[in-house]
Amino acid sequence: MQRHGTSVFRYCREALRDRALAEDVQQQVFIAAFRDLPKFSGRSTVRTWLFAIARHRVLDAAKSRRRARSHVDSEDAAHIPDPGPSPGEHLDDERLREALVGCLQQLAPHVVTAVLLRFQQGFTFEEMADVCHEKPGTLQAQVARALPSLRTCIETRTGGTP
C-alpha cells in the first residue's frame, strides 16, 4: 500500500481535481484491491493492476460528479486564477502549471487519464493498454492528439498566439 499509495493518490487528485473526492476514491481503490486480491492473476504488475482499478473508479467518480452538478464548479476551476497574458514575459513553470491544470479539465476524462498515466505516472503504452483495456496504438493516438490541444489551450490562457 505504501509503495503505490502516493502515486495512486496523485493520479486521482489530478484526474478529479478534488482533494476530498480523490481521498475517497484512493481509499476505494485499495479496499477493492484487497477484496479482489485472490482474483489477481499476476499476469500484469501490481502497479498496473492498481491503476486499472483506480482508472475505473476515477471515471466512475467523474461521471457521478457530472451528473450531480449542472455546471462545472470544481475547486480548481474556482481557485486557480487565470494566469492571463503577460506580454514579453517568459512563461514560468508556475504559470504553465496553472494553465495546464485548467486545460486538462477541458479534455475528456478518459483522455486526461491517458495523459496522466503516460506523463505523470510514466507508464509505457503497453502498460497503459493493460490499465485501460485499450490497444496501445489507440492510447498513443489519444495522447498524441491531446498534446497539441493542451499546447494551444495553454498558449491561449497565457496570452500566446497559436
Q: Pick between residue 9 and residue 71 the one whose CB is nearest to other proteins.
A: 9
Q: Pick between residue 64 and residue 86 the one whose CB is nearest to other proteins.
A: 86
Q: Pick between residue 20 and residue 71 the one whose CB is nearest to other proteins.
A: 20
CB of 131 to other proteins, least distance (A): 16
CB of 87 to other proteins, least distance (A): 8
Q: What residues make contact with other proteins under the rule CB under 8 A?
A: 1-2, 5-6, 9-11, 13-14, 19, 23, 26-27, 30-31, 34-35, 86-91, 93, 96-97, 100-101, 115-116, 118-120, 122, 147, 150-151, 154-155, 158-160
Q: Pick between residue 59 and residue 70 the one whose CB is nearest to other proteins.
A: 59
Side-chain-facing half-sphere of 74: CA atoms under 13 Å: 22
Q: Pick between residue 11 and residue 125 the one whose CB is nearest to other proteins.
A: 11
CB of 48 to other proteins, least distance (A): 19
148 close to 97: Cβ distance less than 8 angstroms: no
Query: 128 Cβ partners below 8 Å, 6+ apart?
Result: 114, 117, 118, 134, 136, 139
Closest CA to 17 of 55, 67, 62, 68: 62
Which conformational region is residue 136 in: left (phi greater than 0), alpha (psi within -120 to 50 degrees), or beta?
alpha
CB of 119 to other proteins, least distance (A): 4
